[in-house]
Structure 1
Amino acid sequence: MKLKITNLSKTYKNGVKALDHLNLEIGAGMFGLLGPNGAGKSSLMRTIATLQKPDSGSIEFDGINILENEMELRKVLGYLPQEFGVYPNMSAKNLLDYFARLKGISSAKERDAIVKKVLEVTNLYDQRNKHVSGYSGGMKQRFGIAQLLLNNPKLIIVDEPTAGLDPAERHRFLNVLREIGTNHTVIFSTHIVDDVKELCHNMAILNGGKILAHGTPKEAEDRLRGHIWTKIIIREDLEEYKANFNVISEKYNQDNTLNIKVYSETAPNDTFINAEPQLEDVYFVALKSDQ
């Protein structure tokens, strides 16, 4: 199962170029699409999910030409958008049974079995009789995963699923995605670097509708080895360092000093210490190179 995106472009009526001749190949497993807000992630997700047409380009998945055979793709697609609406006065079990009927599962026995299975996979079985409107944010997101699993999709798209979740809910949600990622092609769109680091075997960094980097997180980190340098400075000196060095990030310490990181092929000067590259560094270097 491979998703192949070729020369994909999309410009909206307001002149915003959301996708700019984008090329990308995604295989089985968890794939992280990492980028800031407004990078084009949701535009790409909606286009793959056949919810909007591109201006040009092609998309193929497992032998299906997505742009010419939308219904064929939808049969094997599971999609969780950023905003997932639910019916407030129904239990999770009844709502999933309703969705299963909409997806063409006519046998009541078959529906009972698949609903039970997806509730167990998403750790919602004990709350199956509660109204979804009373679920926490993380439980609603897991319910979203449950509904998209009803037709056993080959391709799963989740768009910014952990935004707004507290740490415990985020951890539970990522565990659910980790479990289903072993048997599906899952595209996980996010602006949270740690989500990709914890979850994804492969990734791409997107900004301005273009792919800036593509590979495994480890490969991306390895390419920066020997080129990330760090130093503690007082915050009043930050602008001077930004003017003289390629500062990619800065973080406050408890004593109100700043720990800055600089990208440089060689040591900026003898006051800097070489640092082990992190995925966050890969992200910031890619975005900075695109400015």
Structure 2
Amino acid sequence: MKLQIKGLSKTYKNGVKALDNVDLEIGTGMFGLLGPNGAGKSSLMRTISTLQSPDSGSITFGDIDVLKDQMSLRKVLGYLPQEFGVYPNMSAEKLLNYFAQLKGIASKEDRKKIIKEVLEVTNLWDVRNKSVSGYSGGMKQRFGIAQLLLNNPKLIIVDEPTAGLDPAERHRFLNVLREIGNNHTVIFSTHIVDDVRELCHELAILNGGNILYRGTPKEAEESLVGKIWMRIIERDEFDEFARNYNILSSNYNQDNTLNIRVYSDEKPHETFVEAKPQLEDVYFVALKKDRV
């Protein structure tokens, strides 16, 4: 099933234009929605999830007209928002049983079977009797995935799910998403480039409510071949280089020098060497062009 978004626009009462004529087509698999904070990612996720209405445009998922038939979409939707509520002092297994009843799974045996499945998929089976309120941040995020999988959703939306997780928790969470991404349409909204690079077959870069790029990570990187250049400079030279070159990013070396990455159609100076493009370069190039 494909998710098709056409001409989607949304302006809030305070005058902020969150979405500006957005067009997107998303199929089965992991799709990354990449953009800085305030880019419009959460507004798009909330609109797709029927939590708010757009000013104009259309959304269809398979044969469901999302804006006209919100209940049909909700039956096949799994949504993990950026912030979700405080959990009661209840074990994961008991809480999932409660959620399963709310989602209309009447049979006790059916609930038992699906709860075991989702706890195993999310690597929480061994802590099923532990109170969810005592889970770590990463475990709570994985529990969030477990509860949304209870009704076997066809469309899954996760909004900034790895923000604040430590590296080990992030790795476990991404593995869970990778597993479920094989059989579902999963939209993964984030500002973390590494998450998209590791996980997603396709992506879109969003900023200011506009789609700046749509394609695969490989295609994005190949579009910058011969245009990314690198040089090591002293820290006190940075301001001068920033004035003269289009610096995309910089990082420190152990000796306190800087590696700078520059975008240019041709070699900017004989002291630069060509660098292999990375998805982070694509992201920064798109954002810089958007500001011009």
Give the TM-score normalised by the residue count of structure 2.
Answer: 0.98
Aligned ranges 1:54-203 → 2 under 5 Å: 54-203=54-203
Secondary structure at 1:150's aligned position in 2?
helix
Q: Which residue of 2 aligns with 1:21?
A: 21
> Distance in 2 between the 1:99 and 1:88 partners?
13
Task: Tell me by how many angstroms 1:88 deviates.
Answer: 2.1
> Distance in 1 between the 2:252 and 2:165 partners?
24
Q: Which amino acid aligns with 2:245?
A: F
Task: Tell me by how many angstroms 1:256 deviates.
Answer: 1.2
> Distance in 2 between the 1:262 and 1:56 partners?
39
> Distance in 2 between the 1:243 and 1:6 partners?
40
Secondary structure at 1:174's aligned position in 2?
helix
Q: Which amino acid aligns with 2:151?
A: N
> Distance in 2 between the 1:282 and 1:87 partners?
39
User: Does 2:14 align with 1:7?
Assistant: no
> Distance in 1 between the 2:141 and 2:42 partners?
17
Q: Which amino acid aligns with 2:49?
A: A
User: Does 2:263 align with 1:263?
Assistant: yes
Structure 1 unmatched runs, 5+: none
User: Does 2:237 align with 1:237?
Assistant: yes
Find runs of 4+ consecutive structure 1 residues off by over 4 angstroms: none
Task: Tell me by how many angstroms 1:86 deviates.
Answer: 4.0
In the comparison of the two structures, how many residue pairs are matched?
291
- Report which stretch shifted further, 184-193 or 227-236: 227-236
Query: Are the counterparts in 2 of residues 77 and 153 from structure 1 also a CA contact under 8 Å?
Result: yes
Task: Tell me by how many angstroms 1:87 deviates.
Answer: 2.6
- Share of identical aligned residues, percent? 76
Structure 2 unmatched runs, 5+: none
Query: Are the counterparts in 2 of residues 86 and 132 from structure 1 also a CA contact under 8 Å?
Result: no
Once superposed, what is the RMSD of the aligned Cα atoms?
A: 0.7
Q: Which amino acid aligns with 2:188?
A: F
Secondary structure at 2:223's aligned position in 1?
helix
